[in-house]
Structure 1
Amino acid sequence: MTTALIMAGGKGTRLDLDYEKPMVKVNEKPMISYVIEALMESQYINKILVAISPNTPVTSEYVKKFPVKIIKTKGEGYIEDLADILKNREYVKKDEVIMTIVADLPFITAKQIDDVLENYYKRGKPAMCVSVPEYLFEKYNITPTLVYEGLVPTGVNLLLANNEEQDQSIYESENVELAFNINTLNDLNLSENYIKK
């Protein structure tokens, strides 16, 4: 079984909104709720942690209605907050497998999460980055935040709970839903159009 860690402490400055990014609604529902529900339905996830920060007090209150454990971070940045969590034995055991996932993937499903985890455990490497091919972004007119050798990271990763350098594989997923990482207002508008289709 695997622990999921939702990173929900970012300001979401690129969205240029006056409310917290995890609480941005897609189809009348906060984005983070889709992520939590998909994780709850996964056959491989047995514990869900939500990392919040001083930037996301409303999110912190909202997620209390779900069976999750809330971790308060300093909100210094994704990498810094993650490093603090991975070395904190109050939340994770040393070398425990952790799936980190961003709070802004409103179309992710339990089936996709299970597919990612099955691929991770087959590979036998301590870390895995889940990416989507760039052409899917072009097809749906989504702006990728980062492109590396034709692949775009999805915000879903697997690693062991330690701060050591870990050998990593890259899993290329063809699921377009993983491409809808909502970072800009354009992404938000495109996601609403995707729902209508």
Structure 2
Amino acid sequence: MTTALVMAGGKGSRMDSDCEKPMIKVKGKPMVTYVLDALTSSKYIDKIIVAVSPNTPCTEKYLEDFPVIIIKTKGNGYVEDLSDILSDRNYVEEDEVVMTLVADLPFITSEHIDDVLDHYYDRDKPAMCVSVPANLFDEYNLTPTLVFEGLVPTGVNVVLANTREQDQTIYISNSVELAFNVNTLDDLDISNHHAKKE
């Protein structure tokens, strides 16, 4: 069983917008919708959990029409909320494989999801971080959240559901779609421009 955990409870303070970040629209649809559509069509994903918080009440309401399990977190931060969920046996079994994703990846597809999980299951490490080369951000004028040794984390990871420290491998994807992690209004403008080309 592979569970998807979409983190949709952040404040999105860098967006400088009154709209909750998962609900910001790209090509006429809330960003979280693209993530859920990709997960629903994946050959691997058996269960979808979406974590919301007091920061995202509109997102929580919107998700009621989707075949997902909604978890209300405290909204204390990404790492804290994620840790709480991974240790909660009401939602995930001990050492269950969990793909974690941010809610602001408007160009992610089921092919990306399956490609990541193909690589995960071919490796022998319990955790995997998905990154893209930093030059993709330069090419599209996107703002990376973090650059480490020429790589930028995409907001997609695979872990086991426990609170132990896990040995991790890095999967480098060259899919520019995973570089479109929308964190600023400039990122949003570029994403909408990119969407018009598709």
Q: What amino acid maps onto 1:72 in structure 2?
A: K
Moved over 6 A (4+): none
CA distance in 1, matches of 2:115, 2:18: 35
Query: Match for residue 141 of structure 2?
Result: 141
Shift of 1:196: 1.8
Q: Does 1:83 align with 2:83?
A: yes
Shift of 1:195: 1.2
CA shift, 1:48, in A, is: 0.1
Does structure 1 residue 33 correspond to structure 2 residue 33?
yes
Distance in 2 (CA, whole Å) between partners of 1:196 and 1:67 is 29
Structure 1 position 113, deviation (Å) = 0.4
Aligned to 2:196: 196
Aligned to 2:114: 114
Unaligned runs of 5+ in 2: none
Residue 19 of structure 2: SS of its match in structure 1? coil
What is the one-letter code of the residue matched to 2:157? N
Give the conservation status (yes or no) of the 8 Å contact 2:87–2:162: yes
Name the TM-score, length of structure 2 as normaliser: 0.99
Aligned position for 1:127: 127
Distance 2:109 2:19 in 1: 25
Paired AA for residue 159 in structure 1: V
- What is the distance in 1 between the residues matched to 2:179 and 2:4? 19
Structure 1: segments with no counterpart, 5+ residues:
none
CA RMSD, Structure 1 to Structure 2 (Å)? 0.5
Please tell me the residue identity of whatever aligns with 1:188: L
Deviation sequence 1:122-176 (CA, Å, 0-9, x none): 0111000000000110111111010000000000000000010000000000000
Q: Distance in 1 between matches of 2:68 and 2:31?
A: 16
Encode CA deviations 1:103-138: one digit per residue, 9 max, x unaligned. 000000000100000000001110000000001101
How many residues were matched structurally?
A: 197
Q: Identity over aligned residues, as a percent?
A: 68
1:56 aligns with 2:31: no
| Secondary structure, aligned partner of 1:22 | helix
1:11-22 correspondence to structure 2 within 5 Å: 11-22=11-22
Contact 2:27 2:196 in 1 (8 A): no
Give 1:19 deviation, angstroms: 1.6
Residue 86 of structure 1: CA displacement?
A: 0.6
- Give me the whole-angstrom Cα distance separating, in 2, the residues matched to 1:196 and 1:108: 16
Matched position secondary structure for 1:70: strand
Question: Which residue of the partner structure matches residue 157 of structure 1?
Answer: 157
For the residues of structure 2 that align with 1:57 and 1:141, how far apart are their CA atoms?
A: 32
1:88, 1:195 → 2: CA distance? Answer: 37
Q: Please report how far the alpha carbon of residue 9 of structure 1 lies from its aligned counterpart in structure 2 after TM superposition.
A: 0.3
Return the alpha-carbon distance in structure 2 between the equivalents of residues 124 and 66 of structure 1.
33
Classify the secondary structure of the residue corresponding to 1:59.
Answer: helix
Residue 100 of structure 2: aligned partner: 100
Q: Which residue of 2 aligns with 1:24?
A: 24
Aligned counterparts of 2:72 and 2:193: Cα–Cα separation in 1 = 34
